[in-house]
Structure formats: C-alpha cells, structure tokens
Structure 1
Amino acid sequence: MLTATRELPVRPDTQPQLAIALIVAGIVFLASFFGILTRPVGFLAAVWPANAILLGMMVRNPSYATPLGWLAAFVGYIVADLSTGGNFFVTLWLTTANITGALTGYLLFRLVPESDRWLQRPSSVLHLFAICCAVALAASIAGGGAARLLFGKDFFSGITFWFITELVNSLIILPVLLTFPGFRRLREHWPAGLSPALFQHALPALVLVASVGLAIMLGGPGALAMPIPALLWCSLTYKTFTTSVLTMLLSVWLLISIPANLIPLPELPDPLRSLDSLRLGIALMALCPLTVASINAARVELIERLSRAANHDSLTGALSRGAFIERSEACLQANRDQGTALLMLDIDHFKNINDRFGHAGGDAMLKEFVVLISRLLRPADLFGRMGGEEFAVVLPGLDMIAATSVAERIRQALEMRAIEMPSGGEVWATVSIGVATRAPGEYTDFDDMMLAADRALYEAKEAGRNMVRVGARQPEATSPTLN
C-alpha cells in the first residue's frame, strides 16, 4: 500500500547564493580589468567585454539574476576600476551605465521565445540585433556624459563612441555565450584522433584561415570582406556555436589588425570617425554567418523531427513497425559474424485494462511499459512497437542463453511494477515473451526469426502467460493468432 508523504520545510541555505555572487563578481572583475588595460589614453575603452559577458551569464543562468547577483556584478565593476586608479564618482557613474545596459538586455531577452535566446530560429539573429541595439543605447545614454568629465569630449562624441563599442562587443561576444552547449557536450563531440574525415570536416575552417592570410597580403578596403565566403561555408558546415566562435575570432582579429595596420588601408581623412565606421561595419558583417547558421540549425532540427515522426511510434516513442523491420534487417546483415536474438513481447490481458480503465489507461500502460523496457536495453539494441500491445526487441551479439536472461529480466521488471492509471488506481501487468536466435555465421533472414519468435510467444500464451519461451525455426503454413 502506498502512502503519501509531506516534505518537511527546509531551512534556506545561503551558501549557494553566496557562491554564485562570488562567481559573478569574479568574472565581471576579470572582464572589466581586461577592458581597462586596453583603454586608450584619453578616451573610453575600445574593447569592453564585461557587459556582454555579464548579460550572457545572466541569460544563460537565470538563477544568477537575483538582487544579490546584480549587486555582486556592481561590486566587480567598482573594484576593477578603483584598483587601477579610477575616481570613485566617475567609477560609480560608469558602473551604473554598465549595469543599466546589461539589465536592459536581460529584461528584453525574457520577452523573446527561448529558441530565439539560443539562436535556433531564422529570426533569432534579428531579435539579437534589436536587443543589442537597445542595450547599447541604454548604456550610452546613462554613461555618455562621463566623456566630458573624463576626457573633455562633448556628450555626442561620448554617446556615439559608447554606443558603437557596446554594440560591437555585444554582437561579437553574446552569440558565443548564448549558443555554448556546455563542456560535457563539447567533450562528447571532440574528435578522438586524426583521420581523413576530420580533415574534411575542418576544411572550411582551414580555408577561412587561408582567406585571412590572403587579406593581409592584398590589403585595401576589400580585404575586410575576403574571409566572408569561407565564413559562410563554415556556417553551413558547423553548428551555431562553432560558427559563433569563428565569427568572434575573425571579428576580433579585424578589430585589432586595422588600428595596428596589419591590413594596409589607404589614408583616411578622419581616422577616428572612419575607425568607428569600420568597427561598426565589422560587427554588422558578423550577422550574416550567424543568420545562415541559425537557419541551418532550424533546418536540421526540422529534418530530425520529421525523421522521428516517420520512424517512431507517436504514442510510446518506440520504433514504428516499418522502421524496426528495416533497421533489424540491416542489423542482421551487419552482424552476420556474431549471434543475434529477437524477442517478441505481448502484454497479457491488455484488453481487460482497456475495458476497465478506458483507452487512456491502456495508453498509460503502453507508455510506462516502453519506459521500463528501454531502461533494461543497451544503446545498440532495437526496440519497436509491432502493433497494439505487441513489441519486439533485437539484441545483436547475444546467444540464446544471454537473450533468454534479458527476456526474463524484462518479465520480472514488469511483474514487480505497479502502473498508475490516469483515472486513479494501480495495475499489475505481466508480459509473455518469445525468443528466437541466430548463431554466428548462420544465414537466417528476419522473417524466419519473426516466425520462430511468434511461435514461441504463442507457446508462452498457451502455457499460462507471464513466461518466456524459446522458439525453433521450422517453417509452418500458418502462424497462430494471439488473443
């Protein structure tokens, strides 16, 4: 008999929140310190990644965006600037402007669909651009006046430089943070070693590097656009995160190489205004490969969804009958040198469950049955729904003894499991299983194995159900019908 339990009230633990605050403050401090070190004499920092990093961190981790988290970011900005000799009043002003921009972006990102936050739809990059413009505008309005106090520049010059810098940094850095899949998934997809396939996959990135070298050799204004075709090739080949990283690296290189004269350009009449125009153009140019990568990601996701709908049962998620048979035949062909087993499973007295609890109860039973069995199978095993309450499993590499052992574990697992019904109550169900095997090197097609497993399943039903039987492969004119 099951009894309900109440959870006791738990005393809130402040340690995780304090740890989060330290993480936020530390990251903001390091990013701000880097920006301060790159600040040119007599003006605001041309490279200021702290705001984009803070915004990306808050969007990726909403649990960080607490009053304590924002306060920690504020402290990180203050400490970084004061430790490098900043004036307290000016530091407070600039920090308020930085927080204003990041908070504006965070609130706007909460209004867009989740798929747009991770750049998974064709319109995602447009939403990203609009939010970055709003972030840059909010921060520049809040802090642009500090340019007169700091460097004797007029308000318009301060707000213009701040807006461009904020927009450039956001467009370059934010996509990397928003599309980052996590270190675990990166390790899973990291190549194990050198191979021709790896070289072929890396070819677009290598062409991108070569195009950068060509741009340095030729120089001129057109050199800025030379890497774009290779970058578009990368966006059609790699995932959105990889494209974002390559786009960021290229943009950062261009932003550094132009002032350093690594790419020879003609003499410009107004160097400062022309430099701002080039920086803004580079950032806007980065939108093209990001848009292509987002469209490609949406296309891949759509194909995967269509493939799953075509190959999987819509109710249980198991392979459909046609997909199961097709993959099983391919599995038999590929594993001819080792044993293979086939299990046919039929839930006992399933009609009684439908009659007692309705079709909703029967559907619940089927779904729980699939979840239960899937946990007992290996990744290489095939599991499909053949129709109604009948399922099948292909076990590559197993002989009769091992396959029978797996079938027995499946039978016992269902026998010991109470299935909750949507209308209330529990059901204890059982399953009958027929087993057929093919020895290593033996040629037996899938139809013969299905006939043998069906006969074994019929024998298990005739013998009283809730048992496992092993079938022999002798052809029969007709096959029995299960009830």
Structure 2
Amino acid sequence: MREERLGAPQGTLAGAAIVFTVVLAACLFGIGTRPLGFLAAFWPANALLLGIFVRFPHLQSPAGWIAAAAGYLAADFMTGGEPLPTLWLTAANMAEVATGSVLFRMVSEEDRRLRRPSSVLYLFGILVVASMAAGVVGAGAAPLFFDSDFLSGMAFWVTTELTNSIIVLPVVLTAPSLWPMLQQMRLPEDRVTLLRCAAPALTLLASVVVGALVGGPGASTFHAPALLWCALSYPIFPSVVLTMMVSIWHLIAISLGFFASQVTHHDGYMISGRLGIMLLALAPLTVASINLARNELLARLEQLATYDMMTGALSRAAFMQRGSALISQPMRSGPYAVLMLDIDRFKQINDTYGHAAGDRVLSAFSACVRSSLREADLFGRVGGEEFSVILPNTPREDALRVAERVRANVEGLPIPIEAGAPLHITVSIGITHQPRPGPGPTLLDALISAADRALYIAKGQGRNRIVHADA
C-alpha cells in the first residue's frame, strides 16, 4: 500500500486521532471478551496498533505514541479499571508494540507484506520477541493484582499476545488499498464458477458448525482442511481474514470452556488451547504466503514469455498466437488490417551513436506506436527493428488513417541521447487488408508476408512512407 501522508501539523493531529480511535475501540472490544480472570479472551488492540505503525511509519510520531497510550488508558478507565493496574498493563502493551515496531524495520517491505515464503518465519520470530517483551513487563502485575505468580502470568501473557498477534496482524499487513480492492471485486456471472469460488468458504463454515455440534477438545481442528483449501483458492487477504474470524470464534469458545467437558479456566487448559489455535492459524497463513509468491512468480514468467522486455511489445511468438486467434474468430465479421513497421536506417543509428542509443530508440519508438493505436489493436516485435500491428474490425480507409497517425507521431518524436541534440527517426510501413476472418495461422502468415513486401516497396521509394499491398 502506498503510504499516504497528511500535511503537518494537521496531518499529525489527524493521525494521532486515528490511532487513538482505533486503540480505544479495539480495547473496548477486547475488554468485552474478558469473562473471567487475568486477560481478555481476545485482545486485538496491540496487533492492530503494531500493524498500523508498520504500514504507516509516519504515524510513529510522538503524538502517535501518546495517542496510543491515551487510547489504552481511556478504555480501561471507562470500564472501571484501577489506576495502578491500568498503567502497568498499558506499559506492557506499549512494550510489545514498540519492540515489534523496531524489529519490523529490520526486514524488507516484501517480508512485511508477507509476500515471500520466508515472510511468515520472520513474522513469527518478531511476534515471539514482542510478546515476550509484553510478558516480562506485564507479568509483574500478576502477583500484585491478579492473584497469580510471575511465571504463570508470564506464560499466560506471552501465549495470549502471540496468539492474538498471529491472528490479527496478517490481516493488517496484507490489506490492499480499499478503492482498488472494490474495483476488482466482481462476482462471476456463471453459476458454476460462482459456486466453485464459494465452495472453500462454504466448506469452512460447515466445518465450524460441525465442530460446534460435536464439541470436545478436537473441535478446534475441524476447520484445518477447509482453511488450507481457502489459502490455496483465494488471495492472501481473504484467506487471512477467514482464518482470523474462525480463530476469534475458537478463542472466545475456549475461554468460555465451550470445548471442555465442563467449564474451566485452568491456566494449562487456556494456554494449551490458545497455542493450538495460534499454531493452527500459522498453517493457512504459510500456505497463503507461499501461494502468493508462486502466483507472482508465474505472472512474472508469463510476462517475460509474452512481452519483449526492452520495448514492451508482444514477443513474436505471443503476437503470432494472439493474432492467429484474433483473425480466425467467426463472430468478428469486420475486416482486418496488418501493418509491418521498420525503423528507417536503424543500423546507422547503432553504428553512429552506439547500441545504448539504439536501445533507447527502440523503447521510445515502441511507446510512441502503442500510444497511437487503439486498445483492441495488437502490437508485436517480430524482428530486430521490425514490428507488426493487427487492426481488428478496421476498414481500409481507417487502417490507412491509423498507419498515417503512427508515421506522423514517430516522425515528430524527439529521442534524447546522452551526447548531442535529440535524435529524430522515421518509420516505413507496409499494410495489407483482409475483408473477413479465415484460418488463423495460415492467413496471418500470408498477411504478414504481403505487408512485408509492401514495406520493402516503401523503403525502396525513399522511406518514411506507407505503401498498401493492394494499391
């Protein structure tokens, strides 16, 4: 997510207000899940605050930290908290967030966004240390205010904070920008496709219902296969959101003794249950992170195979494949035009100014041609300085106008080079026309050959001109 900065001092105050509001709301929610005992069943405030500070580092200003502390204190005082325990617990919460913020600065942006297979290991290590920092500070309050010894308080605090963070923090770290996400959210029109997309989530819901009905200590693991299916089927953000929702339900259920034979708040039962939920949540998170890295790698490989790296035009193989499919579609009744383009005297440019200048010419030429074409047109690099264009649904007169627009734009294009005045180039264009669809590969080869012959006629007539094969 691109970091948005508000102007100072208004931006500082606005950021502090956001931090205060988020912490206050999260704390009140957590306090509402505190049925009995030392800590809440689910405490999202620390993970949310840490996530906000990691995603938006400019909020880690003095005003931001003061606002965070004020949010913690306000929530406890609003719910009847005593001053000394409230201050102590707030110090422990702040110690966790501060430790995590420092450690996250040591990893790359890709790892902070959980976009690599190793990212979950870094996340887990950071949260273990941050939770221990909170435990060391907070456990001192256990014998004084909560009738528990230091070690029990330490174990309870560390496991609780580690579990809460593993569940909540990935949602904040992987959340996409809101507007692009809304733009991309489209339900499939085909019912079969829609059902296929919804199947992992529906299976997850069914597993939670079955676990609630069956009960017992193993019920919290019933949803593991469905969570893994979701992680393999959905992008990482929906996957971690589903994992968080299921985990929150089980944390609250464990605190209420829902999966035990009788209601109990024994420390060992609570710690074991929370650790089990935390480790279970790590599995789909790891799978989703690996799946994201795999999909991005496949996308990059497809990009390399489909497009010429230097010019951004389609590679020859991709151009021929897409072009053959395009001109053979029977539902497209319109005529087709094929253009062959060749940069005039390109070898002379390389010999005079060097290959770096030649590469710059190719890149600038390609960008100029793409900007002169329509969205539906295909543009590919079929040789060193030779390019081809397919114009679908284009009558002869319109094809000539497009070709002339390309020629004129290239002629007026200044290309800066390291030494001397900008270069100016020209292009020769051969064009041929096909009135109706036909057999893809055979027809495309014939059209390219005809346009190529017209191109060499254009070069023989003095370059920087258009020649129609049928003229």
TM-score (norm 2): 0.89
- 1:104 is matched with 99
Structure 2 CA distance, aligned partners of 1:408 and 1:71?
Answer: 64
- 1:161 is matched with 156
Shift of 1:248: 0.9
The 10-residue stretch of structure 1 (350-359 or 34-43) with the greater mean CA deviation from structure 2: 34-43
Shift of 1:441: 4.9
After superposition, residues 12-31 of structure 1 pair within 5 angstroms as: 13-31=8-26
**What one-letter code is carried by the residue in structure 1 that aligns with 2:154?**
I
CA contact (8 A) 1:364 1:422 kept: no
Structure 2 CA distance, aligned partners of 1:62 and 1:202?
Answer: 36
Q: 5+ unaligned residues in a row in structure 2: which ranges?
A: 1-6
Shift of 1:177: 1.4
Q: Indicate whether 1:316 and 2:311 are aligned.
A: yes
C-alpha spacing 1:422/1:192, structure 2 compared with 1 (3 Å): farther
**What one-letter code is carried by the residue in structure 1 that aligns with 2:182?**
R
- 1:202 is matched with 198
Structure 2 CA distance, aligned partners of 1:108 and 1:424?
Answer: 50
SS in 2 for 1:341: strand
Structure 2 CA distance, aligned partners of 1:63 and 1:374?
Answer: 39
C-alpha spacing 1:83/1:470, structure 2 compared with 1 (3 Å): farther
* 1:176-197 Cα shifts (integer Å, max 9, x gaps): 1112222233224323455211
- 2:294 is matched with 299
- 2:3 is matched with none
* 1:431-452 Cα shifts (integer Å, max 9, x gaps): 2223333224566710122123
Shift of 1:421: 1.7
| Equivalent of 1:113 in 99, 108, 120 | 108
- 2:208 is matched with 212
After superposition, residues 37-436 of structure 1 pair within 5 angstroms as: 37-192=32-187, 194=189, 195-260=191-256, 262-263=258-259, 265-267=260-262, 271-334=266-329, 336-423=332-419, 425-436=421-432
* 1:215-248 Cα shifts (integer Å, max 9, x gaps): 2232222222221112112222112112111111
C-alpha spacing 1:259/1:66, structure 2 compared with 1 (3 Å): closer
C-alpha spacing 1:315/1:261, structure 2 compared with 1 (3 Å): same
CA contact (8 A) 2:42 2:248 kept: no
CA contact (8 A) 2:372 2:409 kept: no
SS in 2 for 1:437: strand
C-alpha spacing 1:180/1:431, structure 2 compared with 1 (3 Å): same
The 10-residue stretch of structure 1 (166-175 or 394-403) with the greater mean CA deviation from structure 2: 394-403
SS in 2 for 1:383: strand
The 10-residue stretch of structure 1 (239-248 or 448-457) with the greater mean CA deviation from structure 2: 448-457
* 1:129-165 Cα shifts (integer Å, max 9, x gaps): 1111111111221222233443343322332222122
CA contact (8 A) 1:313 1:320 kept: yes
C-alpha spacing 1:415/1:72, structure 2 compared with 1 (3 Å): farther
CA contact (8 A) 1:191 1:198 kept: no
Structure 2 CA distance, aligned partners of 1:284 and 1:61?
Answer: 28
C-alpha spacing 1:261/1:24, structure 2 compared with 1 (3 Å): same
CA contact (8 A) 2:95 2:133 kept: yes
CA contact (8 A) 2:344 2:425 kept: yes
CA contact (8 A) 2:328 2:438 kept: no
C-alpha spacing 1:172/1:357, structure 2 compared with 1 (3 Å): same
CA contact (8 A) 1:399 1:438 kept: no
Structure 1 CA distance, aligned partners of 2:314 and 2:408?
Answer: 23
C-alpha spacing 1:68/1:436, structure 2 compared with 1 (3 Å): farther
Aligned residues: 461
Structure 2 CA distance, aligned partners of 1:51 and 1:424?
Answer: 59
C-alpha spacing 1:76/1:450, structure 2 compared with 1 (3 Å): same
Structure 2 CA distance, aligned partners of 1:94 and 1:454?
Answer: 78
CA contact (8 A) 1:176 1:244 kept: yes
C-alpha spacing 1:292/1:425, structure 2 compared with 1 (3 Å): same
Q: How much is the aligned-residue C-alpha RMSD, in angstroms?
A: 2.5
C-alpha spacing 1:262/1:149, structure 2 compared with 1 (3 Å): closer
Shift of 1:364: 1.2
**Matched-pair identity in %:** 48
CA contact (8 A) 1:344 1:453 kept: yes
* 1:101-129 Cα shifts (integer Å, max 9, x gaps): 11211221222232222222222211111
Structure 1 CA distance, aligned partners of 2:298 and 2:37?
Answer: 54
**What one-letter code is carried by the residue in structure 2 that aligns with 1:69?**
G
C-alpha spacing 1:339/1:60, structure 2 compared with 1 (3 Å): farther
TM-score (norm 1): 0.87
- 2:470 is matched with 472
C-alpha spacing 1:278/1:345, structure 2 compared with 1 (3 Å): same
CA contact (8 A) 1:336 1:443 kept: no
SS in 1 for 2:354: helix
C-alpha spacing 1:20/1:346, structure 2 compared with 1 (3 Å): farther
C-alpha spacing 1:17/1:155, structure 2 compared with 1 (3 Å): same
Structure 1 CA distance, aligned partners of 2:87 and 2:370?
Answer: 58
**What one-letter code is carried by the residue in structure 2 that aligns with 1:215?**
G
